[in-house]
Amino acid sequence: RRQRQVAEEQAARRQQAVEQAAREEEDDEEEIEEEAAWEEGLEEEQEEEDGYVAPLLTEHPGHGGQEFEAPQAEQDDAALEQAALRIQAVQRGQAARRTVGAVQKERTSAAIRIQSVRRGTEVRRQIAATLKQMEDFEERRRARKTVQDGRELEVAALRIQAHARGRAVRRGTIAQMQQRQQWQQCQQKPMPLPLRRLSE
């Protein structure tokens, strides 16, 4: 009964470990999916930024060598306006590059986190497999010990039977020897007179 109870407890622990590993694996998969969706959102944002900055760089290409017929003040205002637009485009390009750098950094961090999660999952799987192997080895060792104990008990029972048979044989031999000695003693003694007459 004790062995059965121990085996049931070990089986329950193994089942709990397997269920825990399955739950952790599901959580890891959900986290990986969330990281992938987050990366996809960052890529879409970057594409929107690229689509917004690129037209600004080509929308105001400058005078192109052409002369204005407007007065000098209007030409100066147009030049200032174009310079301001170029400055804004440069600033937006710098911001876009900073955004790209931040996105790349976040992607690297996300990749590192995903690798860590996967490594943690693999480590937990290896630990669960090692625990199961240890439990299986313990069960096999306990089974071998049970068989060995049964054989030892059988050998001990055979020894006890042999010892009892030996004692019985020795007792029988001693009794036979005693009877023989008594018979020899009776043969050596002179026969009483009534017995001699009876024998005659």
pTM of the predicted model over 0.75:
no
Is residue 18 very low, low, confident or very high in pLDDT (cuts 50, 70, 90)?
A: confident
Percent of the chain scoring above 70 in pLDDT? 70
Least confident residue range of 3-7, 70-74, 83-87: 70-74
| Range 161-176 average pLDDT | 86
Q: What is the pLDDT of residue 110?
A: 80
Nearest to 112 by CA among 35, 30, 45, 26: 35
**Which of residues 178 and 76 earns the better pLDDT score?**
178
32-68 tens-digit pLDDT? 677 667 667 666 666 665 554 444 444 444 444 444 4
Q: What is the pLDDT of residue 59?
A: 47
Give dist(CA 49, CA 56) in Å, integer. Answer: 11
Report the length, in residues, of the chain.
Answer: 200
Is residue 193 very low, low, confident or very high in pLDDT (cuts 50, 70, 90)?
A: low
DSSP string, the chain: -HHHHHHHHHHHHHHHHHHHHHHHHHHHHHHHHHHHHHHHHHHHHHHHHHHHHHHHHHH----TTPPP-S-HHHHHHHHHHHHHHHHHHHHHHHHHHHHHHHHHHHHHHHHHHHHHHHHHHHHHHHHHHHHHHHHHHHHHHHHHHHHHHHHHHHHHHHHHHHHHHHHHHHHHHHHHHHHHHHHHHHHHSPPPHHHHHHH-
